[in-house]
Amino acid sequence: MKLLVTGGAGYVGSVCTAHLLAAGHTVTVLDDLSTGHADAVPEGAELVKGDLAEASDELLADGFDGVLHFAARSLVGESVAHPERYWTGNVVATLRLLEAIRRHGTPRLVFSSTAATYGQPEQVPIREDAPTLPTNPYGASKLAIDHMISSYAAAHGLAAVSLRYFNVAGAHGRFGERHAVETHLIPLVLQVAAGKREAVQIYGDDWPTPDGTCVRDYIHVDDLAAAHLLALEKAAAGAHAVYNLGSGAGFSVREVIDACRTVTGHPIPAVAAPRREGDPAVLIASSDAAMAELGWRPERTEITTIVGDAWRFTQEHSAS
Ligand code: UDP
């Protein structure tokens, strides 16, 4: 297929682009490089540096089989302090993309949604029919986009799939997590092992969990990418399917730090810090629907495998 990947210079977008190219697809990446990196775009993909809202119309006029939409702002704290950036950068920009898709009759869309659309869960594992009550503008903006996509699928025949990611981690070859402002647990812990940080902070050790620290469902970025390829194949005209994607197992912050100690051989000092606002105690995905309907199976579910790939990437990236 001839595909447009928005945000293909970012972490998940670049790994998905690599998988799409390996599967024989033709990929154009649209990225404004505000948080992405031009050198993260895999060889074989064409990079168009441009604004999502401005550039997608002209690009899609060329005739594409589908769009994979990753470009987004994704920092929870920033979304609370500057919600306008999320309503404009995520919702308004995606509306412009959807309008371009409609105008040019692009048949398929796979959207990068998030577990943040659910907010504090009443039950875990979280299924797709759980209430969607996001606790911050980031999650709200992604949920608003999911609603827009549903209406476009119903009214205009778009074949659409939203994939709600839980905690994405790991790396694929030379493609991994390179955020200017790093907030995610695994890269921060590995920065300590790499000597770039003194210690890791544990945001709360008095949560109602077995060891008192928050539990999350970590999914390897390669497993996540595989789900996007399946979603692209299975998307049905006029329907908007929504799938949660996680490994289905929870690991506490302490267990993640321990896995990082095992993988790196570094003692990784950890200090208790106050809880981070808006953090739910436990987030675990039910990926049953993705398994049943997409035929998806996560293959890299061991936390040491996920951390091991992230560590290899961190070391290679620190060296360059
Ligand atoms: N966390 C932590 N210290 C850090 C970064 C994160 O204790 O320096 C915790 C955070 O409170 C959450 C878990 O690690 O419980 C995963 O956080 P991350 O930001 O990686 O992902 P999120 O679950 O917020 O999407």
pLDDT at 83: 97
Q: What is the pLDDT of residues 171-208, one digit of tens each?
A: 999 999 988 889 999 999 999 999 999 999 999 999 99
Distance of CA 191 to the CA centre of its chain: 21
pLDDT value at residue 278: 81
310/316 Cα distance (integer angstroms): 10
Tokens describing residue 315:
């070391």
What is the structure's pLDDT at 277? 84
> Whose CA is closest to atom 10 on ligand 1?
203
Task: For residue 215, report the distance from its CA to the centre of ligand 1, in Å.
Answer: 9
Average pLDDT in the 228-243 region? 98
Q: Is the pLDDT of residue 320 over 60?
A: no
Looking at the chain, list the stretches that DSSP marks H as alpha helix, in order from N- to C-terminal side.
11-22, 52-60, 76-81, 83-86, 93-104, 137-156, 185-193, 221-234, 253-264, 288-289, 303-319
Per the prediction, the chain carries an average pLDDT of 96
Q: What is the pLDDT of residue 28?
A: 98
Q: Is the pTM of this model over 0.85?
A: yes
pLDDT in tens, 19-36: 999 999 999 999 999 999
**pLDDT (tens digit per residue) in 48-98:** 999 999 999 999 999 999 999 999 999 998 999 999 999 999 999 999 999
Q: Residue 108 and residue 240: Cα distance in Å, rounded?
A: 10
Ligand 1, atom nearest to 116 Cα: 25
pLDDT confidence band for 279 (50 / 70 / 90): confident
Count the helices and strands in the chain (H runs, E runs).
11, 13
Mean pLDDT value of segment 258-263:
98
CB-defined site of ligand 1, < 6 Å: 167, 183-185, 188, 200-203, 214, 216, 253, 276, 279
Ligand 1 atom nearest to CA at 273:
7
> Where residue 319 falls among pLDDT bands split at 50, 70, 90?
low
| Residue 138 appears among annotated catalytic residues | yes
> What is the pLDDT at residue 318?
75
Quick one: average pLDDT of 36-40? Answer: 96
Minimum mean pLDDT among 161-165, 174-178, 218-222: which range? 174-178
Distance 134 CA to ligand 1 centre (A): 17
Both ends of the chain: CA-CA distance in Å?
Answer: 34
Confidence at residue 190, expressed as pLDDT on a 0 to 100 scale = 97
Q: Is the pLDDT of residue 100 over 60?
A: yes
Instruction: Find the mean pLDDT for residues 161-178.
Output: 96
Residue pair 223/298 in contact (Cβ under 8 Å)? The answer is: yes
Percent of the chain scoring above 90 in pLDDT: 95
Looking at the chain, the whole-number percentage of residues with pLDDT higher than 70 is 99
Average pLDDT over residues 120-142: 96
